[in-house]
Amino acid sequence: MKKTVSFSKHACNVFFHILTSCNLSCAHCYINRQQHGDQTLPLATIETWLRVFANKNKVANVIFLGGEPTLHPDLSKAIRAARAMGFNSITVDTNGYLFHDILERIDPAQIDFFSFSLDGATPGTNDRIRGQGSFEACTAGIRRAVKAGFNTSLIYTVSATNLHELPKMPALLTTLGIDRFFIQVIGLRGKSACGARDNAQVAAPDWLKIIPQVAAAAAQRGIVTTYPKVFLAPQDPFECAGLVADNYFIFPNGRVYRCPLCEDFPLHSLAFEEDQLKTTAAINEADLFQLNIPEGCVMNRLVQPENIAYNPDGSPEYRVACCLLKEEIKS
């Protein structure tokens, strides 16, 4: 069964970067320390900022990110604090090295998912992107988490360099015991924006041909699979999550974005100042969300125009969806 995952004002989703340091140096890493800071947030600050969002909405979800969040010595305490505050779901996005004995320091009942990042079905492809030895470390971490009783998901960031191995992933996911599969599109931000932009992104015909087929194959194996819609069909309306949803991307320097495409720029519409969440002055991302253009997502048009192709008459071949609009497939 396939459905479009609608934006919802009934839930608050908090993507919380509790530090920016990492043991890897992935080719497509979106962390930009000049814009995001290089702090490791103290536990007291993490708890204070979490409480702002726990009190904001009765249904709040938190995803702990980095850098590599398991490098934070107090991640287990932050997880327990989030659970005590009543967060609806708690996820940790990790590269699989699982530092500080995190699997031994929390109980499976305290966290909903460990979400592992793997960008190839083989060491050769994955390790060229994520670093030598990372495939072996990540798959070993997944097996440890599954054996310990944790729910697991896997994120595969698709680019032109690893698209060819995506069809191999459903079989690997089954072998590893993964519960949920997230196919993600590469964004031209962080390292991707600074490096070679050419040929990084997947062309619309290839995306539309390959990604839905792989997602369906994974779903047939009983794995709930989610992927960004990216390219809208003619009958699909365009909606911006910044206008109709409640998502927050928090960085250690206090910046809070509503749109991840804005994160390479000081366009954040919110910021923590003395532990108070405040609105920033115009012009910021919220002002840009209001714009209505033929290409669909205005931030995509401004930040990564390479993702848009045009017809001879100047009209876009496809409207690009908000990057937070997802398709979900389950058996």
Q: Could you give the angle at which helices 123-130 and 134-147 cross, rounded to 10 degrees?
A: 100
* Strand, coil or helix: 131: coil
Q: What total number of domains does the chain contain?
A: 1
Q: What is the CATH number of the domain that holds 204?
A: 3.20.20.70
What digits encode the pLDDT tens for the residues 29-63? 999 999 999 999 999 999 999 999 998 877 899 99
pTM above 0.85, yes or no: yes
Q: Of all helices (H) and strands (E), which one includes residue 288?
A: helix 285-289
What digits encode the pLDDT tens for the residues 166-183? 999 999 999 999 999 999
Q: Is 101 left (phi over 0), alpha (psi -120 to 50) or beta?
A: left
Please list the pLDDT of the chain residue by residue as tens digits (331 residues). 765 555 676 789 999 999 999 999 998 899 999 999 999 999 999 999 999 999 887 789 999 999 999 999 999 999 999 999 999 999 999 999 999 999 999 999 999 999 999 999 999 999 999 999 999 999 999 999 999 999 999 999 999 999 999 999 999 999 999 999 999 998 777 877 665 444 578 888 999 999 999 999 999 999 999 999 999 988 888 999 999 899 999 999 999 999 999 999 999 999 999 999 999 999 999 999 999 999 999 999 998 887 788 999 999 999 999 989 899 998 8
Note down the domain range covering 255.
Answer: 2-329
